[in-house]
Amino acid sequence: MTNPCVKRATCRLCGESELELVLPVVATPPGDHYVSAAEVNVPQETYSHDIVLCKRCGLSQLAYTVNPEILYRYYSYTSSISLGLVDHFRIYAREVLARVKPPKGALVLDIGSNDGSLLRAFQAEGMTVLGVDPATEIAQAATRSGVETRAGYFTKELAFKLKAERGAAAIVTANNVTANVDNLGDLMEGIRHMLAPDGVFVFETSYWLDVIEKSLIETVFHEHLSYFSVKPLEIFFRRLGMELIDVQRVETKGGSIRGTVQLAGGPRTASPSVKDLIALETQAGLYRPETYTAYAARLDGVKNDLQKLLGDLKAQGKTVAGYGASVGVTTLLYLFDLAGKLTFIADDNPVKQNTFSPGHHIPVLPSAAIYEKKPDYVLILAWAYSQPIMKKHQAFADGGGHFIIPLPKVTVI
């Protein structure tokens, strides 16, 4: 891909061209492109977030693909900074091993392994591990920490090389990765090749039903190309000679699914969860365009309420800061038109501190700034983590400060 942004003509899962625009979402710069002070006067290009629905298989997906070299060249997210994720991976590894029961020392391959947090949990249980991740510096750091990681994109071609070098994998994992891949067919053919005959592919990804029902709109950003539900995934795996045998709903990222896949004709019996969730999705209207019209109206209502609140506070001479500088926060800043409304954004990640938000260039400061600058209100942009953030900063509330939680409805505490 040489163009910075290309419109998809076909569905990323089934390849059909019957794509219907169901949810226009405001364009933003790449959500993780926080800039330095030297770059604040440089305009940043914005790219579409429009979501289309495949009328054949039911996959919701971005209409446009931004060149991955633009998105990932300076990727800064690491798993260990996400609240609770390391503990989640520790439990995840134990649950997968208890179900799959591979021999000690068998190979676990993690695609998009990031800083090795998940593989470290498998390592602790006696497994041999190998990661693959395109972020070169993060991959090198993971290897130095004891988790061998190949820097690069996982493809069918790489899968053939890895299997020749390391043998088949008992378990292949990909967590919050499959949604980021444009060529899913090549990815899955590579995974199919890597798997031992009795091996499994386990993935976690944001669940589109939760995004709609819980208003998790901040999970819509350029890296997330596909918004998965169970029905299109079941069709996709079956077409590739694989079988989706289990789907669990998990709390990660506000609402995700953990799917387990084996080769067609594999040794494990499919659980009822696959059919049950497909029925639930259909009942919820996930494959009907009018569902998204209603969703957009709900988001517009939140925007109107938030704009009124912030306008009233400004008229009273009150100041408002934000809290949270993740990739998804950029979506919220643009969706709710928060340019000029926040004096600064606080964040606990040192990588983001003393930078400026994408496009709007709102300063990002350490969370101590809410005590130094003393805003009257803090708008929790990382609202899925509102409870631990408010608990951590109880002193702000005790000193007379107030928190604003924007979703699923505007709430002042």
- Per residue in 388-408, pLDDT (tens digit) is 999 999 999 999 999 999 999
| DSSP-derived 3-state class of residue 262 | strand
User: How many C-beta neighbours within 10 Å does residue 368 have?
Assistant: 11
Q: Which residue has the tokens 């499994």?
A: 200
Task: Specify the pLDDT at position 84.
Answer: 64
Place of tokens 């899962």: 13
Q: Which domains, and CATH codes, for the chain?
A: 79-287 (3.40.50.150), 306-412 (3.40.50.720)
Lookup: tokens for 147? 């988790």
* CA angle in degrees (0–180, nearest 5) for 292-50-321: 90
The confidence score (pLDDT) of residue 301 equals 98
Query: Among 265, 118, 262, which Cα is nearest to 177's?
Result: 118
Strand partners, 345: 322, 364
Q: How far apart are CA 326 and CA 140, in angstroms?
A: 23
Tell me if 113 sits within 8 A of 135, measured CB to CB: no
Position 76 scores a pLDDT of 53
Q: What residues are paired with 200 via a beta bridge?
A: 171, 262
Q: Give residue-wise pLDDT tens across range 156-201.
A: 999 999 999 999 999 999 998 999 999 999 999 999 999 999 999 9
* pLDDT at site 72: 72
pLDDT of residue 78: 55
β partners of residue 52: 21, 61
Q: Count other C-beta atoms under 10 Å from residue 214's C-beta.
A: 15
- Which residues in the chain land under pLDDT 50? 81
